Amino acid sequence: MISEKIKEIQRVCEEICWKNRLSGTKGNKEARKFIKNYLKRKGFKVYEEDFSVTKTVPVSARIKCEGEEFPAFPLIGSLWGETSGEVVILKNLEEEKDLKGKVVALPVGGRRDSEKAKFLRDKKASGMVTFLEELDVPFSGTIGDVKFFAVNTTREIVKRIEGKNVILDIRTEKKEIKGKNLYVEFGRGPVLLLVAHYDTKPFVYGAIDNGLSVALLLVMSRELAGFQEIPFRIRILFTDCEELGLEGASHHALHSKNIFYVINLDSIGWKNPAVLYEDASGENGRLINEKLFKHLMDMKVDIPFVESKTGMSDHVPFKEKGAQTLFLSSDPFTLRHTQLDDYFAIDWEVVKVWYEVISYFVRRIHRL
């Protein structure tokens, strides 16, 4: 039985995981249409939530250096235009240097990109270049509302431009994005919410982040609807604009009541399954985390509970309203926000474990 469900998840992933789904793009709208039609074919009434946000989204970027041009990704929120300066590489922001007028290159990780950008702006640096240390591929990042010039490129390009004067040529676009959440629900009582975002960062496929989670919940939806003995109203929510600042989840949290439990699936399906009991927003729900720990012990499944200093996802707005939140993910997830996060990166044995763990956990959460 589980093998047939995995085959169906694979089929769904093939439909949505080979396209970029940045909010406001054609790929995003196509994925949304697929989700809606899939749920309707399962017999569900699909509820829609419309909202609008204004964001600065990337278009293109180049690093100009001594007659050469190197490719780069603008970070979400980066200023449009050109900035210049000598490239200085820092391992972390604690290194004491005069950064005025410098283009500072920093590895991805540690503090969030938005915190790094704010620090460098306050130090009068002229721009920021981020790079992955583990992989020689670009990383799609974000600085949010920090007004600064910021791009990402590969570690090899950073080595080539170190100590040289460069120009960061950045093109971004400030636009109004019309987002849309989709959800179905069934049962009675306080709400047990399962949530997964269907959008992606710019320039990437986002198969594990977060197409796989969407596919898993779509396939699981009919099974969950059959759990008549659960004393909860189960709601399955597919959010938009997560990668632009948790906007879809924030909209739903603002307009919802009686949400008691939230189970957030974000970036499951990689070879390092993990439960993030604490993230950048603080500790997640102690009660639901303890319930899942007992559940995993009963199933004899070993999934570690870990702390992430930078993890942020769709459970956060609900946690801020007092809900018991559970953050299911992968840690470390080396391919996150890169072009390597495609269909072939998914570990289907891990997906099988997650499917069985989640479906059984929802069925017995009230008895744990």
Q: Can you give the pLDDT at residue 3?
A: 87
Cβ atoms 136, 104 nearer than 8 A: no
For the chain (368 residues), the mean pLDDT of every run of 10, in chain order, is 91 96 98 98 98 97 97 97 97 85 95 94 97 96 96 98 98 97 96 98 98 98 90 97 98 97 97 97 97 98 95 96 98 96 98 97 96
Helix (H, G, I), strand (E, B) or coil at 44: coil
pLDDT at site 92: 84
Check residue 229 and give its pLDDT.
Answer: 85
Q: Do domains 2-55+177-367 and 56-174 have the same CATH topology?
A: no
Q: Domains of the chain: which residue ranges?
A: 2-55+177-367, 56-174
Residue 74's beta-bridge partner residues? 151
Closest CA to 174 of 25, 80, 55: 55
- Report the C-alpha gap between 364 and 146 in whole angstroms: 44
**What homologous superfamily does CATH list for 2-55+177-367?**
Zn peptidases (3.40.630.10)
Q: Which two tokens stand for residue 309?
A: 């200093």
Taking the C-alpha atoms of residue 220 and residue 215, their distance in angstroms, rounded to an integer, is 9
DSSP readout, 11-22? HHHHHHTTS---
Domain 56-174, architecture per CATH: 3-Layer(bba) Sandwich (3.50)
Separation CA 124–CA 253 (nearest Å) = 38
Per-residue burial over 115-143, b if 16 or more Cβ lie within 10 Å, else e, is bbbbbbbeeebbbbbbbbeebeebbbbbb
Provide the pLDDT for residue 258.
96
What is the model's pLDDT at position 1?
Answer: 66
